[in-house]
Amino acid sequence: MGILEKIDNSKLPIHIAIIMDGNGRWAKKRGFLRILGHENGVKSVRESCEACAELGVKFLTLYAFSTENWNRPKDEVNALMNLLVKTIKAETPTLLKNNIRLQTIGDFEKLPENCQIELKKIIKETEHNNRTTLVLALSYSSKWDIVNSVKKIAEKVKNNEISLDDINDEMINNSLTTGPFPHPELLIRTSGELRLSNFLLWELAYSEFYFTDTLWPDFRKNDLYKAILDYQNRERRFGKTSEQISN
């Protein structure tokens, strides 16, 4: 029996988030420039999206560029932004064909103007697609999102639109750029690094983590299936006891 057949379709995560890491090391191992690693990561993005759409995973969030990544060498940042624009243009037909909706989280305004224009275009074109939502985290960091959210809420308190007691879990959820999406049940990080790197700190509060040594450009549908299978063998207790869960 293959891995795919072992997946229980009634226990799929609704939302999977992936920290796509290891592009640079993938390129370095081959004596290539780092950007070639990023370019080869595009196929892994396509495979992951397709696999989620085929399985019926409703949301896939991909960490594509962090707030901290702006501090990389200028050449690499420029190359990444160009690759983003090129990929969006090239992948639009695939998203439309597969009924995938594109959304973003993060500091959208910080992206170069041509990126913003292309992104807005494809977001609009795919807005009614409903098989799977692909959320790209661009110029994203969780601390940035949380600080922003606190400011929005504080502003409402200041203007007497809400009182302090109105602030709750739900309000915080809704004021984050991740607000429209459910929290991921499963987080995957490739390349063997065991950290969150400022990703979804609030949203991953009760998620299952899956780490693999596979470098992102080598990540294929089967790697995603393996992660899902591993997730399905976990017991999610949410603070309760194992007995309470199994009864």
Catalytic residue IDs: 21, 69
19 binds, among Mg ion, ligand IPE, none (CB under 5 to 8 A by kind): ligand IPE
Q: Which positions from 157 through 196 interact with ligand IPE, judged by CB under 6 A? A: 191, 193, 195
Residue 171 CB, nearest distance to ligand IPE (Å)?
28
Q: What letter would DSSP give residue 106?
A: S
**Rounded to whole angstroms, how far apart are CA atoms 190 and 23?**
10
Q: Is 19 in the site for ligand IPE (CB under 6 A)?
A: yes
* Cβ closest to Mg ion, residue 175 vs residue 214: 214
Residue 198 and residue 139: Cα distance in Å, rounded?
A: 11
The DSSP secondary structure of 145-170, one letter per residue, reads HHHHHHHHHHHHHHTTSS-GGG--HH
Chosen residue from 3, 4, 14, 25 binding ligand IPE by CB under 6 A:
25
Q: Is 66 in the site for ligand IPE (CB under 6 A)?
A: yes
Q: Rounded to 5 degrees, what angle do the CA atoms 237, 17, 15 make?
A: 65
Least distance CB 102 / ligand IPE (angstroms):
17
Closest to 42 measured CA to CA, from 85, 103, 102: 85
Residue 225 sits in the site that holds ligand IPE (CB under 6 A): no
Task: Give the whole-angstrom CA distance, residue 225 versus residue 2.
Answer: 10
Question: Of residues 15, 17, 20, 21, which one binds Mg ion by CB under 5 A?
Answer: 21
Q: Which of 33, 69, 116, 218 binds ligand IPE (CB under 6 A)?
A: 69
> What distance in Å separates the CA atoms of residue 151 and residue 197, rounded to the nearest whole number?
23
Other CB atoms within 10 A of residue 196 CB:
15
CA distance linking residue 50 with residue 95, whole number of Å: 9
In terms of CB distance, is 124 or 195 closer to ligand IPE? 195
Q: Does 217 interact with ligand IPE (rule: CB under 6 A)?
A: no
**Helical packing angle, 221-232 and 34-55, nearest 10°:** 60
Amino acid at 113: E
CB of 193 to Mg ion, least distance (A): 7
Instruction: Please identify, among the stretches 66-74, 112-120, 206-214, 238-246, the one whose residues bind ligand IPE according to the rule CB under 6 A.
Output: 66-74
Q: Residue 188, SS3?
A: strand
Q: Which amino acid is at 185?
A: E
63 near ligand IPE (CB under 6 A): yes
How many residues belong to the site for ligand IPE (CB under 6 A)? 18
Task: Return the number of the residue (61 or 66) whose C-beta is nearest Mg ion.
Answer: 66
Binding site for ligand IPE (CB under 6 A): 19-25, 63-66, 68-69, 80, 191, 193, 195, 197
Binding site for Mg ion (CB under 5 A): 21
